[in-house]
Structure 1
Amino acid sequence: MATSVNGFSKLTKEQKIAWLASHHFKDQQAGIEILKQYWNSDSKLQRLHDEFIENTVSNFYLPLGIAPNFLINGKYHTIPMAIEESSVVAAAGNAAKYWQKRGGFKAEVLGTEKIGQVHLIYPGRTDKLNAFFKMVEPKLNEATLQITENMRKRKGGITSITLRDKTVDLQHYYQLHCTFQTQDAMGANFINSCLETIAKTFESELKNSDLFDPQEKEVQIVMSILSNYVPNCRVRASVSCKIKDLDADKNMDPLDFAQKFIRAVEIANIEPHRAVTHNKGIMNGIDAVVLATGNDFRAIEAAAHAYAAKDGSYKSLSKASIKDDVFTFSLEIPLALGTVGGLTNLHPLVKLSLEILDNPNAQELMQIVATAGLAQNFAAIRSLTTEGIQKGHMKMHLLNILNHLGATQEQKAYFTTYFKNKTISHKEVIAEFNALKEKEDAQVPK
């Protein structure tokens, strides 16, 4: 039974588990055993995982799969994907194999600018604040020199600081809108440290300025924080080939397939209900690689969906077209990624995933991740517009159903063969499983 607890974070790991078991598990010993079953046998490695977050009691595993054969800008990549959804890795691999025969994927980084903002309330005259900002801007940059020193050595740092008047939207509300280049780091801590220093300097200089009346000096720094919406940190991935080379389905002409495919993308572009599922499919591929490489998939998700709604309604992130008998399918998406710092230097599987990708820099990783999203989207639309999504999905889901039923390895082999050319449904699997069980039980000597 749930109840409150004081000082939980100060308890030892064993004490936390004991409290959890006594208040939440029907079978306390079984619950404890499950938690400990997922501990790493290497105590040093387990301690590393324990220290990633607070109140750790166990590890929560996701499968790490591999999608090979990705030909991107003329170079082959093997892509690691951490995800639990059964059909994602298979779909990505199928799309990679399909397009390697048609010239592969093309990808290019369109920008790498990150954004942070100091949000403030200022009750005085706008013209005075503008004049003050022009005078104080050099000091804001100067105040951050120690923080930005190493980043500037790598050709990064603060690229601009501007004052934005947002009083039309909220009374007395202004922003110090700052842009950054963080090179191979995602840069969240770097950006936030810069912003807090900028905010303190701005507030101090304003309160000591002779330009303002006493009441105008009552400036309030509400917060200083990076923005995960990075429309100028963007990447484009695409595929294209002659219409005649689109052999998508033996029962469908290549031109018919291309036109139907484009129609599906157009529907996602004008119908939000479809667009959300359409873009979720893109994020299946993107999130899996982002997670495997130790990046922040929540930030990536938020930025992608904001970008999908940038024109005032929620739309498809991908586009498809035919021009001069050439089919083109492309994706443009904001991706703020890092290959140094954070988990990339700590988590052994993250380091290994980056090694599988040949240790890319941040821009190379952006291209790889966007390509994985495009591949996933292509595979989904191809299935939807030809044989339907469930045939392939349920084949991958078959093992999950059989595991749930407690099937033996021999039974799994039987069902894989049995459903090879049949449509799989949960009901059909259970019915056939029960029939097989009855048959097997009847053969057991009594």
Structure 2
Amino acid sequence: MNKAISGFSKLSKEEKISWIAKEYFSNPDEAIAILKNYWNSDAKLQKLHDDFIENTITNFYLPLGIAPNFLINGKFYTVPMAIEESSVVAAAAKAAKFWSERGGFKATVLNTEKIGQVHFIYTGETSKLERFFEEKKNKFFEETESITKNMQKRGGGILDIILKDKTDLLPNYFQLHASFETKDSMGANFINSCLEQFAKTLQKEAQSFELFSSEEKNIQVVMSILSNYVPNCIVRAEVSCKVEELNENKNIDPQNFAEKFVRAVQIAEVEPYRAVTHNKGIMNGIDAVVLATGNDFRAVEAGIHAYASKSGRYQSLSHAKIENGMFHFWMEIPLALGTVGGLTSLHPLVKLALEMLEKPSAQELMQIVAVAGLAQNFAALRSLTTTGIQEGHMKMHLGNIINQLEATDEERVLIVDYFQHNPVSHAAVVEYFSDLRKVKS
């Protein structure tokens, strides 16, 4: 069957769904019913969601959970988390409660600089290009004033522009490397607009620069785009307490726990295979809050993982030590976030999430997100170095397995009761469920 189609984007939503159902599903009516079941009953709200992206056919729901008791810089927060993975919200909430009783989290924004680049090809003498840039640098600021004036009123704007010679990496390759302050907006559209004007100014001014030959005047702009790697937009999150205060569980010796915890972090600092999974756990907490607050979690992921590789080897983002009887656990990560613009003013749940956080500034949101990541990492490492990760995770996952089996309410009660005292695994649940059904029949 030929599944290619021309003019798909011009079809109505009903027509798109009808075509997909007929082409791809053995039971088209059932497929259509499932897709439409996820439409919002409020037509205006559904239209809002339809307009977020192209070729919308339905909504794809994620649970929005809440992790209370986050004490950050002396203030309590209830943190919204949008995520589908079992145990993440519970683990974050447990870690938040644990540290709220030990002074809470401290978070500090170290810098908020964003980066954008104009990538171009110049075939000529580098000294001439350097002279050109030195003489024309102010032009780049002047010719973006119409773009930057509103941002400047809020205390932001273009911080600096430098010329970078990258010819050691690629023949004739140069950059205009610009830094920006975008205040409470993530700033992608602002930065890209500035960069595109830089490119126009670069090419226009080159045409009239008297030192350039006719060939040198023809600068080829390859692209103008912001970078999601923001190593100077950094937030630090940390916790500390006396080692003896780590004795939440009386079955665990706090000194032994602290030493084992630190060793686990050290392994992630030197072993990339472990570091990837270690940092994925951090991102469980970070992505969930980033998504709930309408920010770009793909950009955040890319920038943070690049930062984890800044030494030339992929390493743990978090660090831990024991010093003078004190346990210290901390992390510094790059986070480019916004609390105005984009989905923050459009998506109703995003607006509620930000209101729940008491309408934070971008810097305050950076702190909250970083703390959520550190809390998640603490919870994961505590499980790994004590009971093992599967005990808690599989108990949380038990509900999903029960739903897959389509157990009755009576069977659900029996299954949950049985696995309160027995190890949870998918195979074990299926076997116990089958035994229940055999007894029943």
Q: Relative to structure 2, which stretch is displaced further, 45-54 or 249-258?
A: 249-258
Give the equivalent residue in structure 1 for 2:136: 136
Give the secondary-structure state (helix, strand or coil) at the position aligned to 1:69. strand
CA distance in 2, matches of 1:238, 1:439: 53
Give the equivalent residue in structure 1 for 2:416: 416
CA distance in 2, matches of 1:409, 1:334: 46
Give the equivalent residue in structure 2 for 1:390: 390
Give the equivalent residue in structure 2 for 1:220: 220
Indicate if the aligned counterparts of 2:206 and 2:218 stay in contact, CA closer than 8 A. Answer: no
Indicate if the aligned counterparts of 1:124 and 1:216 stay in contact, CA closer than 8 A. Answer: yes
1:48-75 CA distance string (max 9 Å, x none): 0000000000000000000000001110
Indicate if the aligned counterparts of 1:122 and 1:173 stay in contact, CA closer than 8 A. Answer: yes
Give the equivalent residue in structure 1 for 2:289: 289
Aligned-pair distance for 1:248?
Answer: 4.8
Give the equivalent residue in structure 2 for 1:357: 357
Give the secondary-structure state (helix, strand or coil) at the position aligned to 2:327. strand
2:233 aligned with 1:233: yes
Q: Relative to structure 2, which stretch is displaced further, 339-348 or 206-215?
A: 206-215
Q: What are structure 1's unaligned runs of at least 5 residues?
A: 442-446
Q: Relative to structure 2, which stretch is displaced further, 218-227 or 247-256?
A: 247-256
Aligned-pair distance for 1:422?
Answer: 2.0
Give the secondary-structure state (helix, strand or coil) at the position aligned to 1:237. strand
5 Å-filtered alignment, 1:303-314, equals 303-314=303-314
5 Å-filtered alignment, 1:230-379, equals 230-379=230-379
Aligned-pair distance for 1:2?
Answer: 6.1
Q: Relative to structure 2, which stretch is displaced further, 427-436 or 90-99?
A: 427-436
Q: TM-score, normalised by structure 2?
A: 0.99
CA distance in 1, matches of 2:318, 2:202: 42
Indicate if the aligned counterparts of 1:248 and 1:382 stay in contact, CA closer than 8 A. Answer: no
Give the CA RMSD over aligned residues.
0.9
Aligned-pair distance for 1:210?
Answer: 1.2
Aligned-pair distance for 1:250?
Answer: 3.2
CA distance in 2, matches of 1:365, 1:190: 20
Q: Percent identity, aligned pairs only?
A: 65
5 Å-filtered alignment, 1:98-177, equals 98-177=98-177
Give the equivalent residue in structure 2 for 1:429: 429
One-letter code aligned to 1:328: H
Give the equivalent residue in structure 2 for 1:34: 34
CA distance in 2, matches of 1:134, 1:410: 78
CA distance in 2, matches of 1:34, 1:202: 53
Q: Relative to structure 2, which stretch is displaced further, 424-433 or 39-48?
A: 424-433
Give the secondary-structure state (helix, strand or coil) at the position aligned to 1:320. strand
CA distance in 2, matches of 1:359, 1:54: 30
Indicate if the aligned counterparts of 1:13 and 1:56 stay in contact, CA closer than 8 A. Answer: yes
Give the secondary-structure state (helix, strand or coil) at the position aligned to 2:319. strand
Runs of 4+ in structure 1 deviating by more than 6 angstroms, as ranges, are none
Give the secondary-structure state (helix, strand or coil) at the position aligned to 1:99. helix
Give the equivalent residue in structure 2 for 1:404: 404
One-letter code aligned to 1:281: G
CA distance in 2, matches of 1:237, 1:70: 12
Indicate if the aligned counterparts of 2:105 and 2:237 stay in contact, CA closer than 8 A. Answer: yes
Q: Relative to structure 2, which stretch is displaced further, 411-420 or 309-318?
A: 411-420
Indicate if the aligned counterparts of 1:261 and 1:381 stay in contact, CA closer than 8 A. Answer: yes
One-letter code aligned to 1:202: L
Aligned length: 441
5 Å-filtered alignment, 1:176-191, equals 176-191=176-191
Indicate if the aligned counterparts of 2:82 and 2:291 stay in contact, CA closer than 8 A. Answer: yes
Q: What are structure 2's unaligned runs of at least 5 residues?
A: none
One-letter code aligned to 1:183: K
Aligned-pair distance for 1:421?
Answer: 2.6
Q: TM-score, normalised by structure 1?
A: 0.98
CA distance in 1, matches of 2:415, 2:94: 23
Give the equivalent residue in structure 2 for 1:59: 59
Indicate if the aligned counterparts of 2:235 and 2:334 stay in contact, CA closer than 8 A. Answer: yes
Give the secondary-structure state (helix, strand or coil) at the position aligned to 2:364. helix
Aligned-pair distance for 1:15?
Answer: 0.8
Aligned-pair distance for 1:135?
Answer: 1.0
